[in-house]
Chains A and B, each alone.
Chain A
Amino acid sequence: MLEIKNLHARIGDREILKGLTLTVKPGEVHAIMGPNGAGKSTLSYILAGKEDYEVTEGEVLLNGASILDLEPNERSVAGLFLAFQYPIEIPGVATMTFLKAALNAHRKAKGQDELTTPEFMKLVKGVAEKLNITSDMLKRPVNVGFSGGEKKRAEIMQMALLQPSICILDETDSGLDIDALKVVSEGVNALRAPDRAFVVITHYQRLLDHIVPDIVHVLSDGRIVRTGGPELALDLEKNGYAAYVADAAA
C-alpha cells in the first residue's frame, strides 16, 4: 500500500531524512517512535507533499504509483491523510465550508456527484457526534479557538469523513488527557479496515495501549534504526531512546 524506499530529504542545506525505508501493507497499523528531532514530522510532511522539503533520493509509492510529483491535494484524493501534529487555525474559513469543499473534491475525483446540503449535514453530524465534537465547534472557523484536544479530535473527524486508505497520525496523542485519548483512539479504531492502513507517529507508548500496532519502528536521525512488535514500544517506554540516539550518532 505505502512503500518508502531509501528516502533522503533536506530542508535548506540540512539533510533530515537519511535513507528511510518502510513498507506498510493494507490493514496494518505501524507505529513510528523516536526522540524529538528525529525527523518524524518531516516524514509526515514529505508524505503529504509540503513544499519546504527537497527529496534528493529515494521514492514513495502509494498503491504502486509514485506520489512525489503529486500536489498535496492530489495525494489527498489518492487516499493519503495526514493528521497534523499542530493543526493550524484558519480564521475566516467556516468549518462546514471547508469540510464540504474537501469532501466534494474527493467525490469529484471518484466521479461522484456533490452531496446535497442535507446529506452533507447528516454525514458530518454523525461523525462529529462520535468524537464529541459539538455543533458549536462546527460553527466556528477551522480550528479557531479549539483547545489542543479539540483540534486533534477535529483532525480525526476529517479523517473519518474523507475515508483515506493510508492514515498518518503525527503525535495525535500529544496534548490529550486520558478521556480525550480514549475518544480519539476509538475514532481511529473504528476506521480500522482490511483495506486501510495507519502510520501512528508518537513519542510515547501511551497511545499504543489504545491503538494497538502490528509493527513498531524506531526512527532516529532520519532513519529507521529498529523494527519489532508491540513489545518494542514497551521496551522504549522503560529504557528510553538513549541506545538508539547513540547508535545513530555512531
Chain B
Amino acid sequence: MVATPVRTPAEQALAARYPAERTSLPGTADVIAIRDAAFGGVEKSGLPHRRVEDWKYTDLRARLKTFPPAAGPGDVARVLIAAPAVEGDKARRLVIANGRYRPELSDLEDLEPGLSIFSLATALEAGDATVLAALKLDDAVASNTAVALNTAFMTDGLVIDVAEGAEVGRPVELVHIAEGEPAASTAVRHLVTVGKAARLTLIETIESLDTVAHHSNVMTVLEVGEGAKVDHIRLQLEPDEAVSLTTLVARIGREANFDTFNAALGAGLARAQIFAEFAGRDAQAGFRGITMLSGRRHADTTLSLIHGAENCQSRELYKAVIDDEARSVFAGRIAVPAHAQKTDARMMTASLLLSEEAEADAKPELEIFADDVQCGHGATCGAIDEDLLFYLLSRGIPKVEAESMLILAFLGEAIDEIQNQAVHDALIHRVEGWLKARAA
C-alpha cells in the first residue's frame, strides 16, 4: 500500500492558489501548458523533504510553514524612495517590485548599442517564440521544485539581450523589491542572452521593505555566448522573516569567461541553486559566494556543474560564517563526462562556526568519467583560530573587534574575487554591518 502523505498547509495553499491564478497569469495557451506541466509535477510529488537527496539538508516540506498569496502591485512611491543596495556602481537599475517589472522606475536612458531590455510578461502575452523556447529547460532543472514553482507562478522578469560583440559598459542591476503587508509571494524569471564576444556585468539585489514573511523566487537563465565575458553578482538581503529561493541557470559557451558570486545575507530560509554547464571548450568560470547566518536562519547553496566540454577550467569557493543556532548547507556537484578531457576544477568550501550550536553541512561531489583531468575538492569547518585571536588580543584589540577582523579575513578570500569595486565595497559594508550587529 502506498501511503498518501498528508498535505502540509503550504502544500494546501499551493494547491488552492494555482487553479485560481493560472489563467490570470501572463501568457498564451502555450505558456499555460508549460505552467500546468510544471505545477503538475509539484502537485504530484508534494514539496521535497529530507529523503529527497537534493533537499536532504533543506527539508522544504518541513520548513515551509505557509505559502502566502500572490503579491499585489505594491506601493510604488515607497519603492521609488528606497535606498539602493549598492551605491556608486553607476549601474543601470531595472526595478522589479512585487514581481512586476517597473520601467517607469527603471533607468532605460541611453541604452548601449546592442543592449535590449524587455518585459517577460509582455513577451509571454505575445507568445514570443524565442522566449517560449527559452522557457524550455533540461528535465533535471525543470523538475527541481523551486524551478517548477517559478515556472508555474512567474509573473514577470526581464528579457535582456546583448548583441554579438557588444560591450555593455554600465553594469545592469536587477533590483528586486518586495513591498507591503501582509506577506506575499513573488516569482520572477529573467532570460539573459549575451552574444558572442560580448560583455556584461549583471547584478541582482533581492530585498524587502517590510519585515514580514515574504516568499521570493527569482530565477535567472543566462546564456553566455562564445568568447563572451559575463560577471554575475547577487546580493540576497531579505529580512529574517523571509523565504528566498534563487536559481541561476548558466550555459557557458566556448572560450567564454564567466563568474558568479552569491552573497547570502538575508532571509530565514534561503536556498541559492546553480545549474551550470560548459557547453563549449576552452571556457573558464568562477563560482563563489559567502553566507552569513545568525539566529535560527538556514541557508543552502546547491551547485550543479556539468563540465561538459574539453579543456574548461572552473573554480568554486564558498565560505560561510555561522553564529547562534543557524545552519549552513553547501552541496556542490561537478560532473565531468568522458569526452571532457583536460578539465580543471577545484571546489572548496569552508565554514566558520561562531557558536556551539551553529551547524554546517557540506557535501562536495565529483563524478568524473574522463581520465585526463585535474579535479579536487575540499571542505573545512571550524571555529575561529585561538592562536590568531590571541595574537590580536595581545596587541590590545578587543575580542569582538579581533573576531570581526578574522571573520572578514576569512570571507575576504571569496569577496576579493569580485571585480566590480562598487559591489565589492557595498558587500564589505554589509559584512561590517553584520559584524557590528553581532558585536552589539
A residues in contact (CB < 8 Å) with B: 48-51, 71-73, 75-77, 82, 84, 87-88, 90-93, 97-98, 101-102, 105-106, 109, 141-142, 158, 162
Contacts and interface: CB of A to CB of B under 8 A. Distances in A.
A73 B396 contact: yes
Contact of A92 (B391, B394, B402, B410): B410
A92 B409 contact: yes
Interface of B: 386-388, 390-399, 401-402, 405-406, 408-410, 412-413
Contacts of A97: 405
30 contacts: A49-B390, A50-B390, A71-B393, A71-B399, A72-B390, A72-B393, A73-B393, A73-B394, A73-B396, A73-B398, A73-B399, A73-B402, A82-B394, A84-B394, A88-B387, A88-B388, A90-B392, A90-B406, A92-B408, A93-B392, A97-B405, A98-B397, A98-B405, A101-B392, A102-B392, A102-B396, A102-B397, A105-B401, A142-B391, A162-B395
A98 B394 contact: no
B410 to A, nearest CB: 7
Given A88-B388, A90-B388, A105 B396 contact: yes
Nearest to B410: A92
Contacts of A76: 393-396
Contact of B393 (A49, A87, A158): A49
Nearest to B406: A93
Given A71-B393, A105-B398, 9 more contacts: A51-B390, A71-B399, A73-B398, A84-B394, A88-B387, A88-B391, A90-B392, A92-B410, A101-B395
Given A71-B399, A73-B399, A101-B405, A90 B391 contact: yes
A43 to B, nearest CB: 15
A101 B390 contact: no
Given A50-B390, A72-B390, A88-B387, A158 B409 contact: no
A91 to B, nearest CB: 6
Contacts of A102: 392, 395-397
Nearest to A89: B388
A48 B388 CA distance: 14
A84 B388 CA distance: 12
Contacts of B408: 92-93
A181 B398 CA distance: 32
A188 to B, nearest CB: 18
Given A109-B396, A158-B395, A93 B405 contact: yes
Contacts of B398: 73, 105
B409 A49 contact: no
A84 B386 CA distance: 15
Given A51-B386, A73-B399, A101-B401, A91 B394 contact: no
Contacts of A88: 387-388, 391
Nearest to A164: B396
A71 B395 CA distance: 11
Nearest to A73: B393
Contacts of A90: 388, 391-392, 406, 409
A51 B395 CA distance: 15
Nearest to A78: B396
B228 to A, nearest CB: 32
B425 to A, nearest CB: 15
A127 to B, nearest CB: 14
B413 to A, nearest CB: 7
Contact of A98 (B390, B392, B412): B392
A209 to B, nearest CB: 28
A77 B406 contact: no
A203 B359 CA distance: 45
A92 B413 contact: yes
A162 B394 CA distance: 11
Nearest to B407: A92
A51 B386 CA distance: 9
A97 B393 CA distance: 14
Contacts of B396: 73, 76-77, 102, 105-106, 109, 162
A162 B395 CA distance: 8
Nearest to B386: A51
A119 B179 CA distance: 47
The 8 closest A-B pairs by CB, nearest first: A92-B409, A76-B396, A72-B393, A102-B395, A105-B396, A73-B393, A92-B412, A77-B396
A48 B412 contact: no
A162 B392 CA distance: 13
A77 B393 CA distance: 10
Given A91-B409, A93-B406, A105 B397 contact: yes
Nearest to B395: A102
